[in-house]
């Protein structure tokens, strides 16, 4: 079901929350593949077929992703490919990314491009067009490139670098997640610094995100302008929820980075909604945890995804 804004366009936050509600699973699968994650037999097949090793790498990763998507599309609402993992393989990696996005969308999954883009003016507009919108190829002719539904952005350059993305949120029903409180340990070096007015840097950023998304709040009560808040900072996540009551929150840090389900849902809204938790390595390499054959990586991923879903459900139930 597509949710309509007052201008008749689809609202990203409504679509994402609807998908989460229907599957009863606030999980996004991070697709951050490296060749070592691909089983030897699958990888060797493409390297034997292709003279160009970069092409073989791209095809291997694409097939790996397709099998992960096939294994989880009925239980996980969204995927989050990290662009750098594809860019390192050049044009063939970029093509694997493009086809991964198209395949995920064909299976009904929402796609969050993890690009953390950060620039201003025409450069920011070019990033927005390439990842979320369409690009002019000749006068009067435009074509969608990656076609993601949403992108992560680094908003430290201020509204100049965010406005081109907001434009596509308003006009095309797209979404963004701005970095507010990241999950890495050294985040405290910058994000915890105190400003003259007593706020921390991350609190000031949260206030800006809350402001930028005020005109994009959907029927679900949350905005298409979201925030990234790491699961490794549960106390701050709860405090940030109070500062951003209508902000959809993307939560990295679950699983391989050490955060548990209770940590991951600390920043969800009082209604138990308004958040989505990312897991990447813990899903892609789940065959190790479950002591399954590497060739069964997709079945292991499904097993881990179901376990993660159940853990998140229990954590949300215990809050109520």
Domain ranges (residues) in the chain: 12-319
Report the pLDDT value the prediction gives residue 121, as an integer from 0 to 100. Answer: 86
144's CB contacts (< 8 A; 6+ apart) are 133, 134
**Dmax over Cα atoms in the chain, in whole Å?**
62
Report the pLDDT value the prediction gives residue 7, as an integer from 0 to 100. Answer: 42
Report the pLDDT value the prediction gives residue 21, as an integer from 0 to 100. Answer: 97
State how far the Cα of 46 lies from the Cα of 30, in Å rounded to an integer: 23
Report the pLDDT value the prediction gives residue 145, as an integer from 0 to 100. Answer: 79
The catalytic residue among 19, 105, 107, 116 is 116
State how far the Cα of 216 lies from the Cα of 244, in Å rounded to an integer: 13
State how far the Cα of 192 lies from the Cα of 230, in Å rounded to an integer: 14
Report the pLDDT value the prediction gives residue 6, as an integer from 0 to 100. Answer: 41
Report the pLDDT value the prediction gives residue 189, as an integer from 0 to 100. Answer: 94
Pairing, β 150-153 against β 223-229: unpaired
Q: Report yes or no: 269 and 275 within 8 Å, Cβ to Cβ.
A: yes
Mean pLDDT by 10 residues, the chain (320 residues): 50 97 98 95 95 96 98 98 96 96 97 93 92 79 84 94 95 96 90 96 97 96 97 90 97 79 93 96 95 96 97 90
Q: Counting Cβ atoms within 10 Å, is residue 45 exposed (0-12), middle (13-18) or buried (19+)?
A: middle
Residue 116 annotated among the catalytic residues of the structure: yes
> pTM of the predicted model, to two decimals?
0.94
Q: Does domain 12-319 have CATH number 3.40.50.620?
A: no
Give the dihedral sign, CA 282/30/40/307: positive
Report the pLDDT value the prediction gives residue 320, as an integer from 0 to 100. Answer: 63
Q: Counting Cβ atoms within 10 Å, is residue 9 exposed (0-12), middle (13-18) or buried (19+)?
A: middle
């Amino acid at each position: 079901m597509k949710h309509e804004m007052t201008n008749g366009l689809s609202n990203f936050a409504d679509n994402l929350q609807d998908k989460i509600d229907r599957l009863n699973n606030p999980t996004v699968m991070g697709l951050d593949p490296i060749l070592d994650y691909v089983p030897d037999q699958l990888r060797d097949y493409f390297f034997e077929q292709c003279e160009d090793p970069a092409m073989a790498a791209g095809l291997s990763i694409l097939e790996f992703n397709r099998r992960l998507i096939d294994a989880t599309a009925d239980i996980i609402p969204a995927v989050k490919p990290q662009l750098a993992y594809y860019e390192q393989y050049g044009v063939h990696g970029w093509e694997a990314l493009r086809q991964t996005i198209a395949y995920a969308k064909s299976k009904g999954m929402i796609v969050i491009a993890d690009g953390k883009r950060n620039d201003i003016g025409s450069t920011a507009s070019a990033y927005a067009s390439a990842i979320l919108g369409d690009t002019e190829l000749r006068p009067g002719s435009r074509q969608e490139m990656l076609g993601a539904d949403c992108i992560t952005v680094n908003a430290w350059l201020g509204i100049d670098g965010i406005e081109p993305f907001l434009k596509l949120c308003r006009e095309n029903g797209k979404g963004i997640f701005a970095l507010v409180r990241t999950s890495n340990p050294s985040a405290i070096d910058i994000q915890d610094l105190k400003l003259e007015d007593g706020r921390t840097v991350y609190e000031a950023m949260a206030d800006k995100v809350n402001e930028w998304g005020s005109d994009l709040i959907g029927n679900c009560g949350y905005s298409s302008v979201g925030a990234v808040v790491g699961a490794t900072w549960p106390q701050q996540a709860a405090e940030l929820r109070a500062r951003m009551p209508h902000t959809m929150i993307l939560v990295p840090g679950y699983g391989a980075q050490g955060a548990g389900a209770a940590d991951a849902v600390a920043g969800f809204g009082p209604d138990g909604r308004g958040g989505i938790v990312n897991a990447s390595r813990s899903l892609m390499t789940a065959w190790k945890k479950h002591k399954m054959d590497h060739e069964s990586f997709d079945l292991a991923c499904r097993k881990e995804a179901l376990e993660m879903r159940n853990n998140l459900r229990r954590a949300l139930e215990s809050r109520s």
